[in-house]
A = this chain, B = another copy of it.
Amino acid sequence: MIKLAIDCFGGDYSPDANIDGSLSALSKKPDLCLVLLGDEKIIKSKLEGRTYDSSRIEIINAPEVIGCDEKPTDVIRLKRNSSMMMAMRLLRDEDDIDGMVSNGSTGALVAGALVRVGCLEGVIRPAFCPLLPTMAGGIVGVCDSGANVEVTPAYLQQFAIMSSLYLENVYDVPKPRIALLNVGKEPEKGDEIRKEAYKLLSETECVNFVGNMESRDLLSGKYDAVVCDGFSGNVLVKTTEGTALELLKKVKRDIYSKSLYKFGALFMKRMFAEEKAFMNYQNYGGSVLLGTSKVVVKGHGSSKPVAFEKCIEQAYKMIASDLDKKIENEVLKYNYDEKD
C-alpha cells in the first residue's frame, strides 16, 4: 500500500479540483490510500453521492486556512492546524504515510518541508524539479527552480544526482543527460560557483554530465535535466512558460484581427488546440521536491483535477520506485563538509 496525505485546501480550484483529482487517482491505483486534509464538513459534503473505495480514504479535519500573503515562517508557527502543516506533521509522525501533495504556497511548503519533514540522509538541501516539454517530444527537468535562491557547487552536484535518479526511475529516461545552466558553453564561463560546479560534475560518476547549457537551448531536446541555483532556475521556468503563453495569446489575437486569418484558422483549429495543450504545464505534473525524507509534490496553484491527479501519480511513482533509497545511496558516496 502507498499512502499519501492530500492537502485539499490549497490552489485556485480547491477543494473541488483536489478532491476530484484524488478520487480519479484512487480509482486507477488499487494499492493507493489517501488521507484527505482540510475542513472535514466540506470534504464530506463534496464526497457525498460519489463512488469510491471508502476503505482507502481517510479524512482528517484541518480547520485553519493559509492566506495568500502569509509569510512562510508565520504559516509554520501560527497555522499549525492548516491542511498543509497537518500533512507535514503526518509525514513526520506517521510511518505509514509515504508522501504528500499540495497546491499551496511554495514558500510555506519549502519552509515546512525543511522544518517538519527534513532531508534524506546526506542531502544538504531539497530542490524543486519541475518538468517542461521539449520540442523533440520529450521532457526536460529544471533543478532547482526556486527552493534555494543561493547555492554552492556541492548543492549543484546533489541536484544533478537527484534529478538524474528521478528521471531514470520515475520517467524511464536511460542515462539522463544532465547539464549545468550557464551563460556560455565553455567550461570557464560563469562565476566561481559555476566553474567549480563544472569540475565537480565532470567527476561525478553516477551522473551523465554533458556540460554547460545556454538557456536558449532548454527546449531543444538535447538535455534531460539542467541544474542551477533556484533564482535563475525560477527565471528559466517562468520565462519559458510566460513567453509561450504570451506568444500563443498574441497569435490568437492576431487571428481574430482579420477575417482572412479567421477563415484560415478554421482549418487549423485542432493544431492550435494541440499547441496550447503542448505548452500547458498542467499536463506535465507538479514540481516535485527532491531530497526530502518523504515525498513532497507541489502542484501549480491553478491546477485543475487532471493536473492534481498527475501530481498524485508522480508521488506514487516516486515512492513505488524507492527513489529515496536510491538518492541516499548515491549521495552518501560523497563527503560534504559543513561549509557546503
Contacts and interface: CB of A to CB of B under 8 A. Distances in A.
A258 B269 CA distance: 12
Interface residues of A, number: 57
Contacts of A266: 264
Interface in A186-200: 186, 188, 190-191
Nearest to A219: B246
A271 B251 CA distance: 8
Contacts of A69: 186
Contact of A218 (B149, B242, B278): B242
A183 B234 contact: yes
Interface stretch (A84-92, A209-217, A316-324): A209-217
B268 A255 contact: yes
B149 A191 contact: yes
Given A190-B231, A231-B190, A274-B254, A246 B267 contact: no
How many copies are assembled? 2
Nearest to A259: B267
A181 interface: yes
A250 B230 contact: no
Contacts of A248: 247
A90 to B, nearest CB: 28
A150 B191 contact: yes
A274 B245 CA distance: 18
A215 B190 contact: no
Contact of A135 (B244, B250, B267): B250
Given A215-B239, A268-B264, A190 B232 contact: no
Interface string A61-73: 0000000010100
Contacts of A278: 250
B135 A231 contact: no
Nearest to A191: B149
Interface string A259-287: 01101111110010011001100000000
A271 B247 contact: no
Contacts of A214: 238
Contact of A239 (B240, B246, B251): B240
Nearest to A240: B243
A229 B242 CA distance: 20
A152 to B, nearest CB: 13
A168 interface: no
Contacts of A230: 183
Interface in A274-332: 274-275, 278-279
A214 B237 CA distance: 11
15 contacts: A107-B184, A149-B190, A149-B191, A215-B239, A216-B239, A216-B242, A216-B245, A220-B246, A232-B235, A239-B239, A247-B275, A250-B275, A255-B271, A263-B267, A264-B264
